[in-house]
């Protein structure tokens, strides 16, 4: 495996650790320590950390190091406002687009929704958060607009950090499924 591939694997591994809470908000990540821990040289670790900083998961402070981002309530509000704008544009494109592609999108989204009740029953909030993000990503991808997808993918990583609070946002978890189903029903109804 070359250094570039190694840095991608390292970035994936570190991303998951950030998103599952293994590395908490504000925690410093040491390039040297990570390289030793992962049994690799510092170069691929440095590249991985830079990639995660570009994704908004890490922040680099000159002469201090690299830290896991700490999202403020304002950051979270901005992330969700941006997601809402992108998802609305995507939903409109799907809704007003080719009926066959709309039907394909509806089936894809309905399949994702169908997994949610079991996750709620199992009290698997991490799994539910993944399915929630998978649903919204699928919606944006279904619009067939590569620029929306690219912009959304940047927000998706930051959104996953917010997802750890999903349980607190829904006092009645079934409401999450109902909201998603309502959106699919609107898409299925044809042009507005």
Confidence check: pLDDT of 167 > 60: no
Global confidence as pTM: 0.79
Mapping DSSP onto H, E and C, the string for the chain reads: CCHHHHHHHHHHHHHHHHHCCCCCCCCEECHHHHHHHHCCCHHHHHHHHHHHHHCCCEEEECCCEEEECCCCHHHHHHHHHHHHHHHHHHHHHHHHCCHHHHHHHHHHHHHHHHHHHHHHHCCCHHHHHHHHHHHHHHHHHHCCCHHHHHHHHHHHHHHHHHHHHHHHHCCCCHHHHHHHHHHHHHHHCCCC
Helix, strand or coil, per DSSP, at residue 126: helix
Read off the tokens for 56: 């908004």
Q: Mean pLDDT throughout 69-91?
A: 92
Helices 146-162 + 3-19 axis angle, to 10: 50
Tell me which residue has tokens 């925690």. 27
Read off the tokens for 89: 């544009």
Which has the higher per-residue pLDDT, 2 or 22?
22
Q: 59 with 67: CB under 8 angstroms? A: yes
Domain ranges of the chain: 3-68, 73-188
Nearest to 87 by CA among 157, 135, 19: 135
Confidence check: pLDDT of 1 > 60: no
Pick the CATH number of 73-188 from 1.10.3210.10, 1.20.120.530, 2.160.10.10, 2.60.120.10: 1.20.120.530
Give the pLDDT of residue 31: 94
Q: Please identify, in words, the CATH class of the domain defined by 3-68.
A: mainly alpha
Q: Mean pLDDT throughout 97-112?
A: 95
Decide whether 3-68 matches 73-188 in CATH topology.
no
């Amino acid at each position: 495996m070359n250094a570039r591939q190694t840095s991608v694997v390292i970035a994936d591994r570190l991303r998951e650790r950030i998103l599952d809470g293994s590395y908490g908000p504000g925690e410093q990540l040491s390039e040297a320590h990570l390289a030793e821990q992962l049994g690799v040289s510092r170069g691929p670790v440095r590249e991985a950390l830079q990639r995660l900083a570009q994704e908004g998961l890490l922040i680099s402070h000159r002469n201090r190091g690299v830290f896991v981002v700490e999202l403020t309530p304002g950051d979270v509000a901005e992330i969700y406002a941006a997601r809402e704008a992108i998802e609305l544009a995507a939903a409109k494109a799907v809704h007003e687009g080719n009926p066959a592609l709309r039907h394909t999108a509806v089936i894809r989204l309905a399949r994702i929704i169908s997994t949610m009740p079991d996750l709620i029953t199992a009290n698997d909030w991490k799994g539910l958060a993944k399915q929630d993000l998978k649903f919204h990503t699928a919606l944006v991808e279904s619009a067939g607009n590569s620029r929306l997808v690219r912009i959304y993918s940047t927000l998706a990583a930051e959104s996953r950090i917010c997802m750890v609070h999903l349980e607190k946002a829904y006092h009645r978890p079934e409401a999450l499924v109902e909201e998603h189903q309502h959106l699919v029903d609107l898409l299925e109804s044809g042009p507005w």
